[in-house]
Amino acid sequence: MISLRAWCMRLRELFRGEQLDRELTDELTAHLEMHLADNVRAGMQPEEARRVALLKLGGLEQTKETVRDRRGLPVLEAFLQDASYAVRSLLRSPGITLVALLSLALGIGANTAIFSLMNAVLLKSLPVRDPAQLVLFGDGLDQGISDGFPNPWLYSYPFYREMQKDNQVFSGVAAAFSMNDRIHGFVTGRHEAEPMNVQLVSGTYFPLLGVQAVMGRTLSEQDDQTEGDHPVAVVSYAWWTRVLARDPSALSRNLTIGSAVFSIVGVAPPEFFGTKVGEAPDIWIPLSMQREIPPGFHGYHDNMFESLHLMARLKPGISISEASANVNLLFQQILRGFSDAPRTPENLLKLDKTRVELNSMTTGFSRLRRQFSEPLKILMAMVGLVLLIACANIANLLLARSTARARELAVRQALGARRGRLIRQLLTESLVLAVIGGALGVAFASWATHLLLNMVSDGREPLQLHVPVDIRLLLFTLAVTLATALLFGTVPAFRATHPDLTEPLKSGRSQSGGPAKGPLAKALVISQVALSLVLLVGAGLFVRSLLNLTNVDTGFNKESVIRLRVDPGSVGYKQDARLSNLYRQIEERVGALPGVRAASFSIFTFNEGTWNNPIWVDGYLSGHRDTEVHHNAVGTGYFAAMGIPVLAGRTFGPQDTATSPKVGVIGETMARTLFPVGSPIGRRYGRGERNAADIEVIGVVKDVKYNSLDETPQPGDYLPYAQNVRYLNDFEVRYSGDAAAAVSAIREAIHDVEPQLPVSDVMTLDQQVARSITNQRLVAQLSAFFGLLAVFLSCIGIYGLMSYLVTRRTNEIGLRMALGATRPKVLWMILQESLWLVGLGIAIGVPVALTGNHLVSHLLYGLPASDPLTLLGGVSALLAIAALAGYLPARRATRVDPMIALRYE
C-alpha cells in the first residue's frame, strides 16, 4: 500500500523531474567511479576495471528509466500530457472551439442564473423554524388600509387579538403591518437622516417564527400590551452592518423617528429578511408604537382599521383544512361581534358568503411572486431551449471534428498507438472542452445572476433578495453538457478507431465511408432551426408588446418632470396646518426657481399605489354606491407640473382654502360614468359611506393611468391638499434645461425651507413610468437576446454541416464542373440542400410556435399571440440568416478547381 506521504512525495517529484534526473546521473556516476577505484585497488588494469564494473552494474540508461518510472505519478503524467495535447489540438481549430465553449458557457450560465433567481423568488423556504407549519390568512397580496366589510385579506388589530384568544388550532398567531414604512430616522448623535424601511409587527411575530436575535433580544408579547409605552426596535443584520458598522455597543444606541426615541434592543440574524420575499425591512417595531411612526396610524384599537397580514403556526397534527374550518367560524363570529362594524343587511349577506383562505407560508409570501413568477417561468423555458440548441450544436461540432479526424487516428493506430490510449485521449479532449466551458459557464452564471437581479430590481423599490448561484442546477447543467460533449466526442471516436484501418487511410480527404454526418447531423440541424423559430417568434411578440406599452398615452406628459419624495413625518411634522404650510412654502420657493415651470405636491404620481373610496353622487340614490374612485390630493400646480390637459372648468387656485367650500377636479371617465347627463361642473358628490355629498366639481381633466400602462381607463378625482390635510410625500417639478442642475437647485430650495427634511427617490417621471414595465422589459430584452442567440447557434450548425458536406463532395463538384456545370448551378445545388433543412425546420417550428405562444397570450399587450406579422417576420428573418449561413459554404464550393479536385481521386 502506498501511504499518503508517498503520494505527496511523488506529487512533488512530478514538478522537479529535471533536477532529480541530474542528481540521479551524478549519483550513478559516483557509484561507478567508486566501483572502478575499488577494482583498480584490487589490482585490475583500468580498462578491465571499467569493463567489469559496467558488466556488473547493468545499463546506465536502463536504470535511469526504471528509477524515473518509479518516480512521480505515471497516470497523472499521462493525463497531463493528454490534456496539453488536447488543448493544442483544440487550439488548432479555434473557430469550432470558441463556438463550443460559448455555447457551453451561455447554456450553463443562463440556465443557472435564471433558475437561481427563480429559486430565490419562488421556491426557497423561509429561514425560520419549521416554515412548513406556518399559514397565512389570505394571499398576502393586498397592502394598505381598508375599512371594507368583510375583508378576508387584511385584518384589524382587535381582530388579531380575538383570533389569537379564541382559536383552537394554532400554537401561535402573529400580525404584521401589510405595508412597510419607508421613512427616515436619526441615530443618536448623528445629524444625517437615515432612510429606513420599518416593519410594524405584533409582539408574537418573532416568537411565532422562532427567530432568535444574534445580539440582544427580539420583540416579545411584553412590547405589545398597551399602546405607546414600548419604544423599542430590532434592527436587521444588514442595517446594523450598513449604518452602525457592526457596532458591538449598538444596544446602547437610540433611534429618533419623528418625535419618539426608540432604543435598539436587538439585532436579527443575517439570513432573516422578514416574511415577505424581496422586501427586507431594516427595523422591526411593535405595533403598539404605530402612532409614533409616520404617518402615525391610529389602528391599535380600531375594529375597522384593516391593515394587517395575519400569520399563524399550526398545532402539531392539525391540517390546513381543519384549521380553516375553525378560522372561518371565528371570522364570522368576530366580525359580527364588532359593534361599530357597518352591519347593514347587505353587508351581512356578503359576510355569509366570505371565506378566509389559509395558505401555506413555507416559502413566505410576496407580491414579487405575482409579478415575476410567470416571466421567470417563461425565461426558464427559453433558456432550457437554448441549452438544447447549444447541446445540439456541440454534438454537431464534435461529430464533424471527430469524423474529420478519422484519418489522423487511423495513421496513429497504424504507427502503433493502442486503441485504448487513443480513446482515452479523445475522451480527454472532450473533457477538457467541457471543463473549460463549464468553468466559463460558472463565471458567466454568477455575473448573469447579478445582472438579472439588477434588471429585476429596476422596479419601484430596490429588491432585497439574496440570490446565491444554485449549486444543484449548476451541477445539473454541467452534467448535461458534459454528457453531450463526452457522448458526441467519443462515439465517433470509437467508430474512428475501429480496427479496420485501411478504409480511412485509403480514402484520404474524401471519406466516402464516414456515415457519421448523415441523418443524425441533419436531424440535429432541423430541430435547431425549429426551436430557434419558436424562440425568435416569442421574442418578437414580447418586443412588440413592449413597444406597444411604451407608446401608451399615459394622460400626462412624462417628459421634463423631476419627481422626488420628502419625509416630513420623520422630522416631527404632524398632519395639520403646519404641514400644509410647509408644502405651500416649498412649492412657492421651487416654483420661483429659474427654468421651473410648475411644482406641486401630491400623494401619488404613477405606479405608487392608490387611495380608493366608493363615492356617491347627488341624485343617484342607488346603483353607484360601489363605484370606486382613485383619489389624489394635490397642490394647485399639479396639472401644470404633470402636463394633464384640462378639458372643462378650472383647476385649483388660491381661492380653494381649508375654509372655502370643498371642491374637486374629476377625470373624463368619472365624468362620463357618474354624470352622464349634462355638464358635471357645479354638481356634487361624496366619498366614503359616511360623508355627505359635499364636494363640488369645478373641472374635468383628461384620464391618466394610475398603476400600470395596460390598465383600462379608471375613474378618478383630485382634491386640493389645502382641504385634505395629510402627508403628501411626492413632489413633482416641471423644468426646462439640464436635469442634474435642476435637481440640485430643487434640493437647495427645499432645504432652505426645512433644513432637515429628508429627500429621497429622486428620478424623472419618465424613469418612473419605465420602471412600471420592468418585467415586460426584462422578458422582452432577455427573450430577444436568447432568440438571437438561438438563431446564431443554429446558423453555426447549418454552416458547420454545409461546410462539411461541401468538403466531402469536393470531388463530385469538381467532376460536375469539369463536365460543364456552371458556377450558379453548383451554388444553387449546395444552397438548395441547406434551404431544405431550414424549410423543414420552419415547417415544424411554425405550428409549435403558434401553440407555444398561446400560453403567453395574456402577457402580451396590444397584439394577439398568433400575430401574423410577427410570425412572418420571424420566419423571414430566420430564412435570411440561415440562407446566409448556407451561402458561405456554397460559394466555397463554386471556387473548387476541377483539376485539383479530380486529382484527389
Partner 1 sequence: MGDKKDVWQGTLALMVLKTLEMLGPLHGYGIARRIEQTSQDLLAVNYGTLYPALLKLEQEGYVASEWGISHNNRKAKFYKLTRAGHKQLQKESREWQQTTAILERFLSAKESLS
Residues that bind partner 1 (CB under 8 A): 2-3, 5-6, 9-10, 23-24, 26-28, 30-31, 33-35, 37-38, 55-59, 62-63, 66-67, 70-71
Backbone angles phi, psi at 37, to 5 degrees: -60, -40
181 - beta bridge partners?
A: 198
Shortest distance in whole angstroms from residue 60 CB to partner 1: 8
Shortest distance in whole angstroms from residue 57 CB to partner 1: 5
In the complex with partner 1, the residue whose CB is nearer, 27 or 77, is 27
Shortest distance in whole angstroms from residue 1 CB to partner 1: 10
Asked if residues 889 and 803 have their Cβ atoms less than 8 Å apart, the reply is: yes
Output the nine-digit C-alpha cell for 440. Answer: 466559463
In the complex with partner 1, the residue whose CB is nearer, 4 or 91, is 4
Shortest distance in whole angstroms from residue 53 CB to partner 1: 10
Q: 717: number of CA atoms within 13 Å, CB side?
A: 30
Shortest distance in whole angstroms from residue 281 CB to partner 1: 60
In the complex with partner 1, the residue whose CB is nearer, 58 or 862, is 58
In the complex with partner 1, the residue whose CB is nearer, 53 or 784, is 53
Shortest distance in whole angstroms from residue 54 CB to partner 1: 10
Shortest distance in whole angstroms from residue 206 CB to partner 1: 58
**How many helices (H) and strands (E) in the chain?**
27, 22
A 10 A CB-CB count for 550 gives 12
SS3 sequence of 384-420: HHHHHHHHHHHHHHHHHHHHHCHHHHHHHHHCCCCHH
**Exposed / middle / buried, residue 192 (Cβ in 10 Å: 0-12, 13-18, 19+):** exposed
Does the bond joining 342 to the residue before it have cis omega, within 30 degrees of 0? no
Asked if residues 392 and 527 have their Cβ atoms less than 8 Å apart, the reply is: yes
Per DSSP, 570 falls in state: G
In the complex with partner 1, the residue whose CB is nearer, 15 or 494, is 15
In the complex with partner 1, the residue whose CB is nearer, 65 or 553, is 65
Q: 798: number of CA atoms within 13 Å, CB side?
A: 36
Asked if residues 343 and 307 have their Cβ atoms less than 8 Å apart, the reply is: no
What is the Cα–Cα distance from 704 to 104, expressed in whole angstroms? Answer: 48
The strand pair at 684-687 and 730-735 is best described as unpaired
What is the Cα–Cα distance from 426 to 409, expressed in whole angstroms? Answer: 10
What is the Cα–Cα distance from 850 to 864, expressed in whole angstroms? Answer: 11
In the complex with partner 1, the residue whose CB is nearer, 40 or 855, is 40
A 10 A CB-CB count for 20 gives 17
Shortest distance in whole angstroms from residue 441 CB to partner 1: 39
Asked if residues 643 and 651 have their Cβ atoms less than 8 Å apart, the reply is: no
Shortest distance in whole angstroms from residue 396 CB to partner 1: 48
Backbone angles phi, psi at 199, to 5 degrees: -110, 120
Shortest distance in whole angstroms from residue 58 CB to partner 1: 4
In the complex with partner 1, the residue whose CB is nearer, 57 or 884, is 57
What is the Cα–Cα distance from 673 to 692, expressed in whole angstroms? Answer: 20
In the complex with partner 1, the residue whose CB is nearer, 28 or 455, is 28
- Single-letter code of the amino acid located at 296: G
195's enclosing H/E stretch is strand 194-201
Per DSSP, 276 falls in state: B
Q: Is 634 helix (H, G, I), strand (E, B) or coil?
A: strand
In the complex with partner 1, the residue whose CB is nearer, 67 or 320, is 67
Asked if residues 681 and 648 have their Cβ atoms less than 8 Å apart, the reply is: yes
| Closest to 311 (Cα-Cα) out of 363, 257, 254 | 363
Shortest distance in whole angstroms from residue 66 CB to partner 1: 5
Count of all residues that appear for the chain in the document: 905
What is the Cα–Cα distance from 444 to 436, expressed in whole angstroms? Answer: 12
Shortest distance in whole angstroms from residue 15 CB to partner 1: 15
In the complex with partner 1, the residue whose CB is nearer, 49 or 433, is 49
Shortest distance in whole angstroms from residue 67 CB to partner 1: 5
What is the Cα–Cα distance from 547 to 549, expressed in whole angstroms? Answer: 5
What is the Cα–Cα distance from 107 to 181, expressed in whole angstroms? Answer: 41
Shortest distance in whole angstroms from residue 5 CB to partner 1: 5
Shortest distance in whole angstroms from residue 34 CB to partner 1: 4
In the complex with partner 1, the residue whose CB is nearer, 6 or 414, is 6
In the complex with partner 1, the residue whose CB is nearer, 34 or 214, is 34
Shortest distance in whole angstroms from residue 42 CB to partner 1: 12
In the complex with partner 1, the residue whose CB is nearer, 3 or 249, is 3
CA 681, 685, 687, 692 torsion-angle sign: positive
3-state helix, strand, coil in the chain (%, to 5): 55, 15, 30
In the complex with partner 1, the residue whose CB is nearer, 6 or 592, is 6
Output the nine-digit C-alpha cell for 839. Answer: 424549410
In the complex with partner 1, the residue whose CB is nearer, 27 or 553, is 27
